[in-house]
C-alpha cells in the first residue's frame, strides 16, 4: 500500500491532483444506456433531465460485435448532450480488465471525452490490484491529454474474490467514488443456483418448527444479498465512498424492484441502477428520503442545536446518536433539494 503522504500524489507527471473529498453529487439512479443503438441514444437528451446519472454501457448486454459501435456511440453521446449543464453525471461502464476491449476503451474515452466523463465503472473487480492498474493507466492518459479533473472510479462487486477483498478495493485509490453490487455475476461466481438479476428467490426461506397438530408451517422468504450488502456498505462507509445497489432485472415487477431498492436505501446505499425508463421514477422516489422522516429529523436537530444532551419528541428519546442520524437524513435531503425543485418543495427548503 502507498504511504499516507503518497496516497494523494498524482500518479503521472502532469496528471491532475487526486480528489481529496468526493464531489458532492446526487446519484439516486444510474441510468444504463446501450450506446450502440442510435434509436435509444437519440432519446438520451430527453431522459437526461429526469435522472442523476447517465451511464453508457460498453460491457455485458452489448454484443461482442457491437463493442466498437458502443464506444463510438459513447463519444458521440458525450458531445450531443451537455450533461454538466444539466447537473447530470456522465459515467461509462468499460469492459472487464481481462477482456480484449478495455485498453482501447479507456484510451479512447480519456482522449476524446476525458473532460466530460465523471466516473468510469469497472466490472468484476477482484482486488485492489485492479484499481491500482486502472488508476495508473488513467493518470498517464489524463497527463497525456491534458485532462484537468481526475476521472473517478466505481467498482462492481460481482465475484466471490471481490467480496472477499471489498475493504481493500474501497480504499485502493482516492479515485474511488463507490461500489455497486452486481448480483447476476456474483451469483454465477458463487455457483448460486439462480437465473435472476438481483432480487429475492422464493426458495430461500426460513420455516417455523413443525406443529404438534400438523397444521401448516409458516415460512418467510429471506434476503439472499444481506451479507454481501452489509459487507459492501461497511467497506464503503469506512473509506468515505458510496455504496449502490446494482441492477434489478425483472422490469415487469416494479413492486419487487421498489422493495429491493428500499432495502438498499435503508442499509445506507446512495442509489441503484435503472435499466429501463420505468425504473427511473422508482429509484428517484426510494432514494429521496421520505418528506415525513425529513420533517421529523429537522425537529431533532432543532431540539438539540449543539448535537448533545437528551430530548423527548413524540415519546421517542433523542440523543447525540439520533442527532447524527437526523443530520445524515437532513444533509441528504438538502443535497437533493439543491438539485431537484420538486423535492425542495416537499422538504420545505
Ligand atoms: C431491457 C431492455 C432490453 C428492454 O428494452 P425494450 O424491450 O425495448 O423495452 P420496452 O419496449 O419496454 O421499451 C420502451 C421504450 O423505452 C426505450 N428504452 C428501453 N430501455 C431503455 C433505456 N435503458 N434507456 C433509454 N430508453 C430505453 C425503448 O427503446 C422503447 O422506446 P420506443 O420504442 O421509442 O417506445 C432495455 O431496457 C435495455 O437494454 N436496458 C439496459 C440493459 C442493460 O444495460 N443491461 C446491463 C446492465 S445489468 C448487468 O450488467 C448485470 C450486472 O453486471 C450483474 O452482474 O449483476
Ligand atoms: Mg455483471
pTM, two decimals, is 0.97
Q: Is 185 in the pocket of ligand 1 (CB under 6 A)?
A: yes
- Nearest ligand 1 atom to alpha carbon 31: 23
Spatial distance between the Cα atoms of 160 and 165, rounded to a whole number of angstroms: 9
Q: Is 162 in the pocket of ligand 1 (CB under 6 A)?
A: no
Spatial distance between the Cα atoms of 233 and 270, rounded to a whole number of angstroms: 10
115 in helix, strand or coil?
coil
Q: Is 37 in the pocket of ligand 1 (CB under 6 A)?
A: no
Q: Which CATH superfamily includes the segment(s) 4-287?
A: Phosphoenolpyruvate-binding domains (3.20.20.60)
CA quadruple 9, 12, 16, 19: dihedral positive or negative? negative
C-alpha cell at 235: 467497506
- Which residue, by CA, sits nearest to atom 11 of ligand 1? 276
Tell me which residue has cell 438520451.
Answer: 44
Q: Is 121 in the pocket of ligand 1 (CB under 6 A)?
A: no
Distances (CA, A) of 340 to 26, 43, 113, 349: 10, 21, 27, 11
DSSP string covering 215-254: PPPPEEE--TTHHHHHHHHHHHHHTT-EEE------TT-H
Where do the domains of the chain lie? 4-287, 293-347
Helix, strand, coil percentages, rounded to 5, for the chain? 45, 15, 40
Q: Is 159 in the pocket of ligand 1 (CB under 6 A)?
A: no
Spatial distance between the Cα atoms of 284 and 270, rounded to a whole number of angstroms: 11
Q: ipTM of the assembly?
A: 0.99
Contact indicator for 55, 93 with CB cutoff of 8 Å: yes
Mutating to test ligand 1, I would choose from 50, 70, 186, 277 the residue with most ligand atoms within 8 A of its C-beta, which is 277
Distance 69 CA to ligand 1 centre (A): 17
β-strand partners of 92: 56, 120
Residue 209 phi/psi, 5° resolution? -65, 160
C-alpha cell at 68: 466498437
Are β-strands 311-313 and 219-221 bridged in parallel, bridged antiparallel, or unpaired? unpaired
Spatial distance between the Cα atoms of 242 and 129, rounded to a whole number of angstroms: 20
pLDDT in tens, the chain (349 residues): 789 999 999 999 999 999 999 999 999 999 999 999 999 999 999 999 999 999 999 999 999 999 999 999 999 999 999 999 999 999 999 999 999 999 999 999 999 999 999 999 999 999 999 999 999 999 999 999 999 999 999 999 999 999 999 999 999 999 999 999 999 999 999 999 999 999 999 999 999 999 999 999 999 999 999 999 999 999 999 999 999 999 999 999 999 999 999 999 999 999 999 999 999 999 999 999 999 999 999 999 999 999 999 999 999 999 999 999 999 999 999 999 999 999 999 999 9
Spatial distance between the Cα atoms of 238 and 155, rounded to a whole number of angstroms: 16
Q: How far is CA 203 from the centre of its chain?
A: 28
C-alpha cell at 20: 481529496
Amino acid at each position: 500500500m502507498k504511504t499516507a503522504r503518497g496516497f494523494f500524489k498524482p500518479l503521472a507527471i502532469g496528471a491532475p491532483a487526486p480528489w481529496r473529498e468526493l464531489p458532492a453529487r446526487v446519484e439516486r439512479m444510474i441510468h444504463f444506456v446501450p450506446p450502440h443503438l442510435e434509436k435509444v441514444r437519440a432519446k438520451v437528451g430527453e431522459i437526461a433531465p429526469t435522472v442523476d446519472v447517465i451511464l453508457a454501457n460498453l460491457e455485458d448486454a452489448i454484443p461482442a460485435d457491437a463493442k466498437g459501435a458502443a464506444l463510438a456511440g459513447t463519444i458521440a453521446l458525450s458531445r450531443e448532450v451537455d450533461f454538466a449543464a444539466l447537473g447530470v453525471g456522465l459515467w461509462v461502464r468499460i469492459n472487464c480488465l481481462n477482456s480484449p476491449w478495455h485498453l482501447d476503451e479507456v484510451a479512447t474515452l480519456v482522449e476524446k471525452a476525458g473532460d466530460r466523463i465523471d466516473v468510469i465503472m469497472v466490472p468484476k473487480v477482484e482486488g485492489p490490484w485492479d484499481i491500482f492498474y486502472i488508476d495508473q493507466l488513467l493518470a498517464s492518459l489524463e497527463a497525456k491529454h491534458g485532462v484537468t479533473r481526475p476521472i473517478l472510479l466505481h467498482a462492481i462487486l460481482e465475484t466471490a474474490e471481490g467480496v472477499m477483498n471489498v475493504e481493500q478495493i474501497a480504499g485502493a485509490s482516492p479515485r474511488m467514488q463507490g461500489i455497486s453490487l452486481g448480483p447476476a455475476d456474483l451469483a454465477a461466481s458463487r455457483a448460486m443456483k439462480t437465473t435472476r438479476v438481483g432480487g429475492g428467490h422464493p426458495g430461500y426461506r426460513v420455516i417455523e418448527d413443525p406443529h404438534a397438530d400438523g397444521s401448516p408451517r409458516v415460512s418467510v422468504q429471506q434476503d439472499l444479498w444481506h451479507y454481501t450488502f452489509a459487507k459492501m456498505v461497511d467497506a464503503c462507509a469506512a473509506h468515505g465512498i458510496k455504496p449502490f445497489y446494482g441492477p434489478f432485472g425483472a422490469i415487469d415487477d416494479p413492486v419487487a424492484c421498489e422493495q429491493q431498492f428500499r432495502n438498499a436505501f435503508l442499509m445506507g446505499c446512495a442509489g441503484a441502477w435503472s435499466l429501463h425508463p420505468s425504473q427511473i421514477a422508482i429509484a428517484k422516489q426510494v432514494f429521496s428520503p421520505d418528506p415525513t422522516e425529513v420533517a421529523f429529523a429537522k425537529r431533532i436537530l432543532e431540539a438539540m442545536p449543539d448535537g448533545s444532551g437528551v430530548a423527548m419528541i413524540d415519546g421517542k428519546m433523542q440523543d447525540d446518536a439520533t442527532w447524527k442520524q437526523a443530520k445524515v437524513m437532513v444533509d441528504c435531503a438538502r443535497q437533493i433539494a439543491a438539485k431537484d425543485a420538486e423535492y425542495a418543495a416537499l422538504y420545505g427548503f
